[in-house]
Amino acid sequence: MGDWKTVTVPVLSSDGKNIFQYTSDKKISPPSMNSQVLCLSLPSSKSMHSFFSAFCTEENIDESISYLNRELTTLGFPSIYAESKGKELNLVSIINCMNELLVLQHKNLRAQEEVEMQHMKLGSDMDHLQNCYAKLKEQLELSKREIVGLQERDRQLQSKNRNLHQLLKNEKDEVQKLQNVISSRATQYNHDMKRKEREYNKLKERLHQLVMNKKDKKMAMEVLNYVGRADGKRGAWRTVKTEARNEEEMYKVLLSNYEQRQKQLLVENAELKKVLQQMKKEIISLLPPQKQKPKERSEDGTVLSDLEEDIGELNKENMWELSCETVREQLTNSIRKQWRMLKNHVEKLDNQVSRVHSGALSDKDVISREDHEMETEKLELEIQQCKEMIKTQQQLLQQQLMSPCDDDTTLLLQDCYLLEERERLQEEWRLFREQKKNFEKERRSFTEAAIRLGLERKAFEEDRGTWLKQQFLSMSTDYKRSESVTTPSAFLGSSEQDNRLLKCTSQQRRPRSVFSSPVSAEPCPTFQYLARNSAAPKQHAGDSKPNQWVGSDKEEAE
């Protein structure tokens, strides 16, 4: 619509020519004016051009002006005539009207644009909403279909469930029926059995009668001769006494059986009680180390009191023998208590050990553990070594046993072993003989020494005797002759008196007779020894012992 622009520019010119210009304007741009007017209401098209020319031509200018005036006044614009009656046109008002119209046109255009925009927006909104609506409708359809499907399934499952319940009920009924059937059949069976049995018994009776009738003829025992009883006794008549005896025997058998069982039970009981007592003692012995800890003070008190009680109980050993309820209960209760305490103790120890693991306690425990581990390692090594030894020994043994199939080699081997053994044995024999010889030598030397010692002793004794005698003689010359005969064997004389004395003593039984007899037999050596050992009074005290020792040596030598 480029014609718009062309219209606005040439409009403002002189007044006089306005009309003409107006008209020429009209003429020049009727299509544009017309098109303007027409734009408001009608789309521009070439057909309108004809209409514009149709509206105002040179002939009907006045009518068209009046028509326009009328329209404008109805629209509220001032009239375009200068006066109300005249035909002179008020140009100002015409221009104002045109301006107003233009403004209105702009406004309308803007409004139209807005409306169009809104329309578009609304259109797109509408489209959008329609889409949503369509989608939602689809979804709704889908959900409806789903619901229907689920409902269908639910219905099916419920009907299945009902069927199963029904089946179960039927089965239960059947089972019940069968059980009833069984019981009824059982009673029926029993009843029939009883009936049949009665019949059978009747038959049996009849048969029995028949059989008993023929007893005389057929049933018999032939025996060459009657055999004696197994225990050799005669048979006894059946009397009341025998009946009573039988009863007695039976009761005796029963009683002995019961007594035996009771004894066994008592023994078992006693053993168990002993075991319990031992256990109790051991548990008590395990508990005291707890005394040091402050926590268990309160428990300690109870422990101590319990200990006292228990010790008191333990002392009453006779209580064990009684099997009355109270003692039993006491025992079991006390054991339970002790056991619980022991358990607590062990638990505490476990806690301690766990604490040691985290390394909180004293070195003692740690070291002991280390020691323990070392010891266990040592023991393990030992075990391994022993095992290896055992294995090697086993192998050797097997080798020995599973000697090669060849006899010769086995014989050879055996010979080898035998030779070895033989040589060893020979060596050992040699050693043994040597040792024996040595022993013999030593023995001989010992005996000689013993003999020597004995003789020395004798000599010494003689010396002593003579010395004492001299003393005595020196002390009392009166009693010498009278008492020398009667005084006993302490004196071993070197003179004839002594010989006489010795003979007397040898005749009398003295403890030293062994000692004295060789002396009497060998008087000469004694003199020799006396000569040699004249000054050997060493052993005063302890006489009895050496004498005996010598005596025994003498015996050995002999």
* Calpha distance 101→80 (Å, rounded): 13
Residue 219: C-alpha distances to residues 198, 208, 227, 359, 476 (Å): 27, 13, 20, 101, 126
Least Å distance, CB 299 to other proteins, is 39
Q: What is the CA radius of gyration of the chain?
A: 77
Least Å distance, CB 262 to other proteins, is 11
Asked if 458 and 519 count as a contact pair (C-beta separation under 8 A), the reply is yes
Nearer Cβ to other proteins (229/295): 229
Asked if 392 and 400 count as a contact pair (C-beta separation under 8 A), the reply is no
Nearer Cβ to other proteins (221/541): 221
* Binding residues vs other proteins (CB under 8 A): 182, 190, 193-194, 197-198, 201, 204, 207-208, 210-211, 214-215, 217-231, 235-236, 238, 242-243, 246-247, 249-251, 253-254, 257
Least Å distance, CB 402 to other proteins, is 14
Q: In terms of Cα–Cα distance, which of 543, 484, 545, 552 is closest to 515?
A: 552
Dig out the tokens for 43 from the structure: 């789309």
Give the type of residue at 211: V
Nearer Cβ to other proteins (204/316): 204
Nearer Cβ to other proteins (208/355): 208
Least Å distance, CB 182 to other proteins, is 7
Give the type of residue at 540: H
Nearer Cβ to other proteins (1/266): 266
Least Å distance, CB 237 to other proteins, is 9
Beta-carbon contacts of residue 492 (< 8 Å; ≥ 6 apart): 458, 461, 462, 465, 498, 501, 502, 516, 519
Least Å distance, CB 220 to other proteins, is 6
* Calpha distance 549→558 (Å, rounded): 14
Least Å distance, CB 390 to other proteins, is 21
Dig out the tokens for 233 from the structure: 């006794």
Asked if 38 and 51 count as a contact pair (C-beta separation under 8 A), the reply is yes
* Calpha distance 194→189 (Å, rounded): 8
Q: In terms of Cα–Cα distance, which of 457, 453, 490, 456 is closest to 471?
A: 490
- Give the phi and the psi of residue 89 in degrees, each rounded to 5: -90, 135
Least Å distance, CB 236 to other proteins, is 7
Nearer Cβ to other proteins (200/467): 200
Nearer Cβ to other proteins (57/262): 262
* Calpha distance 515→315 (Å, rounded): 61
Least Å distance, CB 338 to other proteins, is 29
Residues in the chain, how many?
558
Nearer Cβ to other proteins (249/347): 249
DSSP 51-98: HHHHH--STTHHHHHHHHHHHHHHHTPPPSBSSSSS--B-HHHHHHHH
* Calpha distance 504→506 (Å, rounded): 5
Q: At what angle do helices 496-507 and 479-486 cross, to 10 degrees?
A: 30
Asked if 269 and 323 count as a contact pair (C-beta separation under 8 A), the reply is yes
> Is the four-CA dihedral 120, 125, 129, 131 of positive or negative sign?
positive
* The dihedral formed by the CA atoms of 335, 338, 344 and 346, expressed in degrees to the nearest 10: -90
Nearer Cβ to other proteins (215/538): 215
Least Å distance, CB 294 to other proteins, is 48
* Calpha distance 280→482 (Å, rounded): 83
* Calpha distance 531→361 (Å, rounded): 86
Nearer Cβ to other proteins (223/541): 223
Asked if 69 and 94 count as a contact pair (C-beta separation under 8 A), the reply is no
Burial (CB count <10 Å: 0-12, 13-18, 19+), residue 409: exposed
Nearer Cβ to other proteins (243/271): 243
**349 SS3 class:** helix
Least Å distance, CB 160 to other proteins, is 33
Nearer Cβ to other proteins (148/265): 265
Least Å distance, CB 192 to other proteins, is 12
Least Å distance, CB 232 to other proteins, is 11
Nearer Cβ to other proteins (12/210): 210
Nearer Cβ to other proteins (265/485): 265
Least Å distance, CB 210 to other proteins, is 8
